[in-house]
Amino acid sequence: MTSHAQPTLLISNVLPVRPGDQAYNDICMRLWDRLIQAAAPAWRVVREYAQEDGAEGATLRAQDADAIIIMGGEDVHPSLYGASQGYEAEGRHWYRADLGQIALVEYAVRTGTPLLDICRGMQIINTALGGTLEQHIEGAHGTHTNNRILSDHRFIRHSVRVGKGTNLQRALAHVLIDSELVISSAHHQRVARLAEGLRVSAQAPDLTVEAIESLDAPVLGVQWHPEDPAADISQLRALLAHLDARRAPRLEHASTTLVA
């Protein structure tokens, strides 16, 4: 397949690199490499850096995309869901990136462009559409994240139950066992109030919301990391196939010559 015949997958990241944080950059690169491995050769991949592009730039880049992925990253700025800073385990925020990725969610909903959001990305969906986040999960370490993840790159592994009749169930039908899936987790925040127009499509045993989806648009978010190199790549490929199945075909316009 030639490159021009490939669908374009726009992948949004917060930044190309985090200044002065090589450990964070290393794990981000491992996740990026795994995603590219799963996307090749079916997709033409274009990267987007939301902190650099902001809302306007991110939306412009999305106009050439057949599907969009928003990857993980730091906490969403609490002002965007009506909360305050100063909470437990708060890290650095990238407010311009938040606005850029919120704009991508809004664009996907408005245009029907298939969207998959991962970890922070799922929280961006809920924030963009008016939901809220629990700022710190009590006992998150050992349940949803590993406090040594930046050094050992090991995600917490646990099961989730996928809701019957959901788009997520349809996407993962071939990798589910009795509606359950073992996933790779790394987060200390989670959905609190679900935004209007969304439904929960997967939960952890402790009832943490692990996946959400739009009722009206091809928008899906997973709290876990299907692009973890230690996870079965078939799960990530199934999600990419779901994006492909829901994208609108592009029409090839033949050039015409006007004769006076």
Q: Is the pLDDT of residue 147 over 60?
A: yes
Active site residue 74: no
**182 CB contacts (<8 Å, ≥6 apart)?**
157, 158, 159
% pLDDT > 70, the chain: 94
CA atoms of 231 and 70, how far apart (whole Å): 19
pLDDT bracket for residue 249 (50, 70, 90): confident
Q: Is the pLDDT of residue 164 over 50?
A: yes
Measure the CA dihedral 32/237/128/107, to 10°.
100
Q: Residue 55 in 3-state DSSP?
A: helix
Residues 220 and 172: beta-carbon distance below 8 Å: no
Active site residue 225: yes
Residues 10-36: tens digit of each pLDDT? 999 999 999 999 999 999 999 999 999
Q: Is the pLDDT of residue 102 over 60?
A: yes
pLDDT bracket for residue 250 (50, 70, 90): low
pLDDT bracket for residue 124 (50, 70, 90): very high
Active site residue 28: no
Q: List the catalytic residue out of 48, 210, 213, 227.
A: 227
pLDDT at residue 62, as a whole number:
98
Q: List the catalytic residue out of 119, 134, 213, 242.
A: 119
Residues 186 and 146: beta-carbon distance below 8 Å: yes
Q: List the catalytic residue out of 144, 158, 187, 225.
A: 225
Bridge partners (DSSP) of residue 202 are 162, 211
Residues 189-236: tens digit of each pLDDT? 999 999 999 999 999 999 999 999 999 999 999 999 999 999 999 999
pLDDT at residue 256, as a whole number:
34
**233 CB contacts (<8 Å, ≥6 apart)?**
34, 37, 38
What one-character DSSP code corresponds to residue 216?
S
**E strand segments, the chain:** 8-13, 44-49, 67-70, 115-118, 133-134, 156-162, 180-185, 190-191, 198-203, 209-214, 219-222
pLDDT at residue 259, as a whole number:
36
Q: Are strands 209-214 and 219-222 parallel, antiparallel or unpaired?
A: antiparallel
Domains and CATH numbers, the chain: 3-246 (3.40.50.880)
What one-character DSSP code corresponds to residue 164?
T
Measure the CA dihedral 159/118/135/216, to 10°.
-100
% pLDDT > 90, the chain: 87
Token output for 71 = 């990857």
Residues 57-76: tens digit of each pLDDT? 999 999 999 999 999 999 99
Burial 94-119 (b: 16+ CB within 10 A, else e): bebbbbbbbbbbebbbeeebbbbbbb
Q: How far is it between the farthest Cα atoms of the chain?
A: 75
